[in-house]
Structure 1
């Protein structure tokens, strides 16, 4: 009874965030170990290109986010400025994770449009505008936030408290961006559904639609959470979920696309090139692209 209701609420939120962080770290470690063999095969056999670099960054940035989370909630430090600095770093890596995940699927959408430069330029310009706006809003909101710590001994860590439409704006922009990308995918699929029957084309379309559907759902939830709940600890769950789910989907779907290409023995390159974009447009309905060959392609073959 010596602690106020606010002290108990802050301690409860910190305990909740700590349990969530430990659960996430455990899941991510298990997932990494489970997929290590398949990923190692991909890294050794695939060519070095822009999508492979994006893949590696997207795959490993969540480890940095989880490490920052663990440090934030397990370090007994009541210094508010240090806490905000760590939250700023955490948010920066969150942006990097989302941008890399989205970039992989921007290139895949570009592939569906046969290297249409207008689609690429329009998409990249929109993405840059939204990223700059999101960064400005997010870090302004963090700077204006209050830092909460526990007055109860034995409960460490800190978190920020803030609410309002500012918290929703980055996710609202992400929602609009992904809505545009899924529209491009659906338009292209409807244009080519009679003429293109290639399995890789089908994989790209299905993956894109599923990825954007998940992204739209999570972004919509993150838009609504700050308006429905005042406690940051609650909508922090879905904010973290957005980072991790997008990273998992982007990397798993890319691995699956690459494996499909290996099974088909794509002549002239591995399946990575379908998402990477070579200098010449890729026509998924062209028979030579999917023509089986006796030997699997080597890593140094070119289109």
Structure 2
């Protein structure tokens, strides 16, 4: 006799399947991007000198592997234990926060570099950045800890999801929108101030990268706010890690492009890493 399931059971299961397909697609896209940039990446890793920025690059580049592995494990391995689901989700959330933290750090440094190492700008950015990070972590873990995890009532469907709404998670994305809008504004102000006096190609690359990155961050943050407010079940969290994966790809790709652009500008024999602060100074003197 065929079992009958409620409309909610079917809706929950469909959302869980879409959620699983999305993470599988993200993992495939990430591996494809890594394979395409493998030669450029290893050239950078082997021939650039070690620095804090290089360490930041490595973390931003490889933490998404751990994030995607954790989610794929949670989505495909049969699991009836809600506590284990909560634990796995907390681990994946930590990877997500590390990923987006490193990505944003890159552009905090770039904005600081564009402002010629202005200490007032640096203190303002860091204070705002710390406030956003602490508030986001507090909201994220406090909200997800109170929402119970469950599995699909339909046999054969693996994975787990939060059975009650967690719309409060839109607050960290609103904070991220505020941070990125502020950084984009600082970049535009600096670009307007310096567009006549600065002829450095690297300076122009920095400005273009910053604007494009912030535009993507604002767009995906807005999408996540809307999905959290308008959708239910697994659909709510569909694009959260998608945003972090895309931002990680953008920031690492942009850094590789900037480094190789610098090598071309200084000659193929000058294979050393130029800190972002030096790039800004060079740009202002050009």
TM range (shorter): over 0.9
Could you say if the C-alpha distance between residues 178 and 10 of structure 1 is closer, same or farther in structure 2, counting changes exceeding 3 Å? same
RMSD: 2.0
Could you say if the C-alpha distance between residues 270 and 189 of structure 1 is closer, same or farther in structure 2, counting changes exceeding 3 Å? farther
* Superposed displacement of residue 271, structure 1: 7.7
**Equivalence for 2:186:** 184
* Superposed displacement of residue 245, structure 1: 0.9
Instruction: Work out which of the residue numbers 150, 153, 176 in structure 2 matches 1:151.
Output: 153
Partners of 1:237 and 1:205 in 2: CA distance: 31
SS at match of 1:195: coil
2:114–2:280 Cα contact (<8 Å) kept = no
**Equivalence for 1:250:** 251
Partners of 1:260 and 1:19 in 2: CA distance: 37
Aligned length: 284
* Superposed displacement of residue 149, structure 1: 0.6
**Equivalence for 2:264:** 263
**Equivalence for 1:115:** 117
1:284 aligns with 2:283: yes
2:59–2:99 Cα contact (<8 Å) kept = yes
Partners of 1:95 and 1:229 in 2: CA distance: 23
2:47–2:272 Cα contact (<8 Å) kept = no
Could you say if the C-alpha distance between residues 141 and 241 of structure 1 is closer, same or farther in structure 2, counting changes exceeding 3 Å? same
* Residue segments in structure 1 that go unaligned for 5+ positions in a row: 288-303
2:116–2:284 Cα contact (<8 Å) kept = no
Instruction: Work out which of the residue numbers 126, 129, 139 in structure 1 matches 2:128.
Output: 126
Partners of 1:168 and 1:198 in 2: CA distance: 40
TM-score for the superposition, normalised by structure 1: 0.88
Could you say if the C-alpha distance between residues 165 and 7 of structure 1 is closer, same or farther in structure 2, counting changes exceeding 3 Å? closer
**Equivalence for 2:54:** 52
* Superposed displacement of residue 32, structure 1: 0.9
1:57–1:97 Cα contact (<8 Å) kept = yes
Instruction: Work out which of the residue numbers 211, 214, 217 in structure 1 matches 2:213.
Output: 211
Partners of 2:269 and 2:129 in 1: CA distance: 32
Q: Which has the higher helix share?
A: 2
